[in-house]
Structure 1
């Protein structure tokens, strides 16, 4: 999956002083761009987020849906200028009723390997998280989002899903980041019930996933040929 084409988001060149092997030297480097954006709604004062400046409509829309009371409602986003967006909420949508199909263990590892091994923004700066929507039937990643903040990645996925009419309850969430209580709660609000992370999970995220009947997998690392299933009451991971 190729990098987004956003000239305004290109890394900024910089010269740094680096201490390495007992000596100082000057080195060229690049920095990821991060800017504040403002989200306007009918509910009150604008909300400010810091983000990587590309594909910001999905971010603004998804943040309102997941963190500002818009979950389960129709919504639209308008661009006011390069850094300001207006989100309007509509009527409640029918509840998503889909359930993710089971995945074999070896197939799960292959899917995560493909997802993590693809070209990405961290290749330049090492500054990014990524999250993706996996169809567990076709085993295709339908959409991938990258941002400096891991929560921003989920906002971007939710915004994309809302604008494209894609249901998330029967999909799998792939993430590079650790799954804390806040990230797990956001994933559940988005509709996901199957979460796979390359990183760690916490007691709170495991308890939350278990309570909601979600499958939670951590440490999915193909090079080590392993992953850890922390909760899977529905039996979505098969031999």
Structure 2
């Protein structure tokens, strides 16, 4: 059986021939495969990093990466000049303020090599382990809203539904309705794309929460807190370093988020029990600690 042509697939998926075996019998067919290409970020005509990524939502990716990696502090500080599809991959050329470009040049000189993640290649510990300012937003959500967002996230992964190879990051309103989803082969990339989309669409970061289809690593927690997101729920486990950062950054970190349960590691006051109402936001009583 042959599938639809590439044009009928979502961006980021392509068809490739495969010999598939089931029950001792084999057959040749076309299979949907997730794309993976080098994406180079060039700031003010100077190359900075090359990421292996799914070539979809590239403007969101470029904007979100610049924000989550601390290259710029505000969305208005980054302008996408052009996106070039080359034989070797994709090059995204961006323009940032001169002062930020000078800081980036100094950072580039301290890197031993280009990398697909934000902390690799950093020469100094303080550069690798950034701790963002404490999150000011204090959204409150009910458990049923978290479960609703997780269900909708599973149903909204068009690339993964065909390929089984991508992560997703989703943004949900306080009632659990999913507003935005971005996918990528890399969990960090999916989150960067979502952060870029949140800023591009003007979503209020104090009125929703984040759900991701991956483990909650340090870098995922750092990117979420840097964006001002108050609650992140991951379907898999957190790392010890992610928990430490979330505690310091006033980020509610939830792991093993499934239909039948979850584990809250930091700032549990934001997740309301089933019997409690689910306001869109609660008063800000200040930073509190998880028991």
TM-score bucket (shorter structure)? 0.7 to 0.9
Do structure 1's residue 65 and structure 2's residue 72 form an aligned pair?
no
2:116 corresponding residue in structure 1? none
Count, aligned residues: 228
Residue aligned with 1:53, SS? coil
Return the match for 1:149 from 172, 186, 192.
Answer: 186
Do structure 1's residue 14 and structure 2's residue 17 form an aligned pair?
yes
- Distance 1:118-1:54 versus aligned 2 partners, 3 A rule: closer
Do structure 1's residue 128 and structure 2's residue 161 form an aligned pair?
no
Q: How does 1:82-231 map to 2 (within 5 A)?
A: 82=85, 83-89=90-96, 99-136=137-174, 138-222=175-259, 225-231=260-266
User: What TM-score, normalized by structure 2, do the two folds share?
Assistant: 0.69
Separation in 2 of the partners of 1:97 and 1:77? 28
Please report how far the alpha carbon of residue 119 of structure 1 lies from its aligned counterpart in structure 2 after TM superposition. Answer: 4.8
1:41-87 deviation digits (Å, cap 9, x = unpaired) = 13832422221112211111211222252234522223242322222
Contact 1:178 1:197 in 2 (8 A): yes
User: What TM-score, normalized by structure 1, do the two folds share?
Assistant: 0.83
Separation in 2 of the partners of 1:80 and 1:53? 11
Computing the radius of gyration over CA atoms, which structure comes out larger, 1 or 2? 2
After superposition, the CA RMSD in angstroms is 2.8
Please report how far the alpha carbon of residue 88 of structure 1 lies from its aligned counterpart in structure 2 after TM superposition. Answer: 2.4
- Distance 1:56-1:236 versus aligned 2 partners, 3 A rule: same
Separation in 2 of the partners of 1:102 and 1:42? 41
Please report how far the alpha carbon of residue 181 of structure 1 lies from its aligned counterpart in structure 2 after TM superposition. Answer: 0.9
Return the match for 1:45 from 44, 47, 58.
Answer: 47
- Distance 1:219-1:27 versus aligned 2 partners, 3 A rule: farther
- Distance 1:9-1:98 versus aligned 2 partners, 3 A rule: same
- Distance 1:53-1:80 versus aligned 2 partners, 3 A rule: closer
Please report how far the alpha carbon of residue 200 of structure 1 lies from its aligned counterpart in structure 2 after TM superposition. Answer: 1.0
The answer for unaligned runs of 5 or more in structure 1 is none
The answer for unaligned runs of 5 or more in structure 2 is 1-7, 101-132, 274-291
Identify, as 1 or 2, the structure richer in strand.
1
Separation in 1 of the partners of 2:60 and 2:136? 23
- Distance 1:197-1:185 versus aligned 2 partners, 3 A rule: same
